Amino acid sequence: MKFLKYFSVVLICFALLGGICLVAGIRINTSESIPLGIYRSSEEPVEKGDYVLFCPPPDPVFDMAKDRGYLASGLCSGGYGYMMKDVAGISGDVVAIKGDGVRVNGILLSKSKPLQVDPAGRPLPHFQADSYTLGKSEVLLMSNVCSLSFDGRYFGPINRLQIKTVILPVFTW
């Protein structure tokens, strides 16, 4: 009985700590899309190379990602959870997404070669573009640390309005 009491107290403390972190703009990243660690929200404008927290737009590609467990359930439209990615392309950048990888302004991004199937052997969608210029409200979000990340090579550019905040690393590992 004592164990259950202590366990309940610990659980309540973690819930309170989590709530305080959310209100304070602290985010913990446990996915390999960006470096693992603790991040804080900022008021910085979105620039190329920034890490961002965004809500995926309602779309069949994100429905599939949620169904397959690439994306958690959450408070975003469509019942999606927030995602964290690196801003690889911004307005005016020319993007090419092909079988050998993603290029932004002619530069091949590391770890960007699209996979044909996921680790379970299921086919993956591919956003194909030979030469696509990102519009004023578009960004290309990628992982710069994990070749298995579900990112722009699969879902393509998104609207800047989906970005909730630029996140700055506090402590990463």
CB 67 within 8 A of CB 118: no
Beta bridge partners of 165: 53
Q: Model confidence over 121-171: pLDDT tens digits?
A: 999 999 999 999 999 999 999 999 999 999 999 999 999 999 999 999 999
pLDDT of residue 2: 74
Instruction: Please report which confidence band the pLDDT of residue 12 belongs to, taking 50, 70 and 90 as the band edges.
Output: low
| pTM metric for this prediction | 0.88
Residue 33 reports pLDDT greater than 80: yes
Domains of the chain: residue spans and CATH:
27-172 (2.10.109.10)
How many alpha carbons fall within 13 Å on the CB side of residue 101?
17
Three-state DSSP at 9 gives helix
pLDDT of residue 15: 52
Q: Model confidence over 88-133: pLDDT tens digits?
A: 999 999 999 999 999 999 999 999 999 999 999 999 999 999 999 9
Residue 25 reports pLDDT greater than 90: no
